[in-house]
Amino acid sequence: MAIRWSAARWGKLIVFAGLLLESAALQAGTLPSSEVTPARYWVLLRNKAGMHFNPATYFAAPAQLRRQRQGLPAADSTDFPVRPDFVRQIRAVADSVTLVSRWFNAVACRATPAQAARLRMLPGVVSVEQWEQSSLQLASQAGTIERGSMTITADDRQLARRQTASLGGPALRQARLEGQGLRIAIFDVGFIGTVRHPAFAQLIGEKRLVATYDFVRKGPNVFVGGTHGTEVLSCLAGLLPDGTALGLAPKAEFLLARTERLTREIYAEEEAWLAAAEWADRNGADIINSSLGYTDRRYFPEQMNGRTSLVARAAAMAVRKGILVVNAAGNDGEDPDWPTIGTPADADSVLTVGGLDPDTNLHIDFSSYGPSADRRLKPNVMAFGTVLAAAPGGYVRTQGTSFASPLLAGFAACAWQQNRSLTVMQLFERLQASADLYPYFDYAHGYGLPQAAALLRPAGEVRSKRPTVDFVHQDTVLAILIRPEAAIIPAQVLPLYSDSATVVRAAQQVPAVGREELAPPLSRQPAPGQALPEPAPMAPVRPMYLYWHVADPQGVLRSYEVREVTQRAVLQIPRRTLRPGDTVRVCYRGITQSYLVP
């Protein structure tokens, strides 16, 4: 009787023979070390034929409801499990398997080059891609285990109030919008001190910490590794002892995922981010907050296009599942080699959040700039980049876009709570449109600081759109003049001309996103034995700045600037710098006006 050999049997025979040959070579000492040291590989599989899947038993009830609300299918092919026979074949060949991804029908593994060659011959494998390797590097430890103090100064309390009031926190609380019914996942380096911290007593007591998982150590304990995640969580749900909220979603539910380690390895964190995203999807997350980013340790700036990195593609897939992904822009704004956003902040459907300076209400120096490598707008919006946050032992002033991101994620939770029928991209657009500069934008501020007033405005109400500037076409310049009726500000009327005033700030370096340190001490210190005076009341409006940019016919900015307004004749643009088809946009006092260059 003839014996029929299947492709799978031939594959196993080839694998077995290869293993024998490699074993013999190792014993003989004929293989170089580069041939026997396992490297990381991404193995893309052919199909999911024959797999069965019941979404009702796989997904948590909130995950099912999220899809129903947004008109998404209960499941699609990316939700189906990976074929176990394919995984078994890979395990039989590779040194180890580190991730099995349903979303991408792929397996991440460690293998030698010889093993990788045999992986490519397996019948279920489409491709085997090696990922760049580098030795482990010790990340900056400064600020990793921050210690707080229960002594809260008047300035600290003022900052705590302003970081939420700047987004309209009091109006949201009055409208009973505090994240109720929303489930938020936080991906971070660790959450030391969270469970016993008084800032989270209400969260823990009401059992709204739904699930935790450490994707580094493969276990449920995320309360290791660092305090950064604790600080980030506090900017969503933390409370001061007097009940002052540090974030805008103190009533939400939370999923905590540890996806980073203090000693970092190329791509391992991105694998953990993807695994956490699939876990968050299954467990019903509405929003993912990722105060993390990856830049020059593994990529080039031209790869920040939202399509190259695994983590950007994972974030985009999460959005396809109806999850809003909110990500910090990064803290590289003062880095001459890489001042722009990292990944996954580069993904087009990720809401990227830059940092705002509480003292000037402008872009904070260290916040990373846009655009993406393919010239899309980034960051999308802003929030305070210096905050008061909870840390083991009490509270700390800290800084970084890591904390702007959760402030905005809490705002997004309130916006979605107000209208649960919105799809994720409808919410994305609404968050951008609620910002105080919209529709003006630039690559430092995005659309600006979102405002609760825009969310709470009655349907059909039309805001005043009265122009605030005039474009005056002169022989050699395009002049921008502030209209007399828009030149009246509290306590003064702007003259037509005056000496310009500038805001001078000392530059300061901030560690990479996810590794932030404490904010510098206050410059205003009391004399020995003297207390600081009570700070002045919060300003009801932002300072009088004029924002302007020049965009080409494709909407890509060629230049942009912010000017402090001290006179009505505020700007003169040389005509020789403008090209036919350019658009000059100006935003003053919340009104955006445009001039098309003929």
Rounded alpha-carbon distances, angstroms, from residue 348 to 133, 493, 575 = 27, 42, 34
- Considering the candidates 79, 197, 228, 434, report the single residue annotated as catalytic: 228
Which of 500-517 are b and which e, b meaning 16 or more Cβ less than 10 Å from the residue's Cβ?
A: eeeeeeeeeebbbbbbbb
DSSP tag of 81:
P
Question: Rounded to whole angstroms, how far apart are CA atoms 170 and 173?
Answer: 5
Give every CB contact of residue 577 below 8 A, 6+ residues apart in sequence.
550, 559
Give every CB contact of residue 338 below 8 A, 6+ residues apart in sequence.
295, 296, 301, 332
Tell me which H or E stretch contains 328: strand 324-328
Structure tokens at 380: 């999308």
Asked if 346 and 305 touch (Cβ cutoff 8 Å), the reply is yes
Rg of the Cα trace of the chain?
27
Q: Name the packing angle between helices 84-93 and 7-28 (round to 10°).
A: 20
- Considering the candidates 101, 156, 166, 188, report the single residue annotated as catalytic: 188
Q: How many CA atoms lie within 13 A of 578 on its CB side?
A: 22
Question: Which alpha helices (DSSP H) does 37-83 contain, by range?
Answer: 55-58, 61-69
End-to-end CA distance of the chain: 85
- Residue 368 annotated in active site: no
DSSP line for 341-379: --BSTTSTTSEEEEEE-TTTSSB-TTSPB---TT-----
Structure tokens at 146: 């921050």
- Considering the candidates 290, 372, 402, 434, report the single residue annotated as catalytic: 402
- Residue 140 annotated in active site: no
Task: Please name the residue that has the structure tokens 């003297």.
Answer: 530
DSSP line for 163-211: HHHTTTHHHHHHTT-S-TT-EEEEEES--TTTTT-GGGHHHHHTT-EEE
CA 226 to chain centre: 19
- Residue 188 annotated in active site: yes
How buried is 338 (Cβ within 10 angstroms: 0-12 exposed, 13-18 middle, 19+ buried)?
Answer: middle
**Long-range contacts made by residues 138-143, C-beta under 8 angstroms, separation at least 24?**
138/262, 138/263, 139/262, 139/263, 139/264, 139/515, 140/511, 140/512, 140/515, 141/262, 142/511, 142/515, 142/517, 143/398, 143/511, 143/515, 143/516, 143/517, 143/518
Question: Rounded to whole angstroms, how far apart are CA atoms 550 and 583?
Answer: 6
Structure tokens at 251: 């009533």
Question: Catalytic amino acids?
Answer: 188, 228, 402
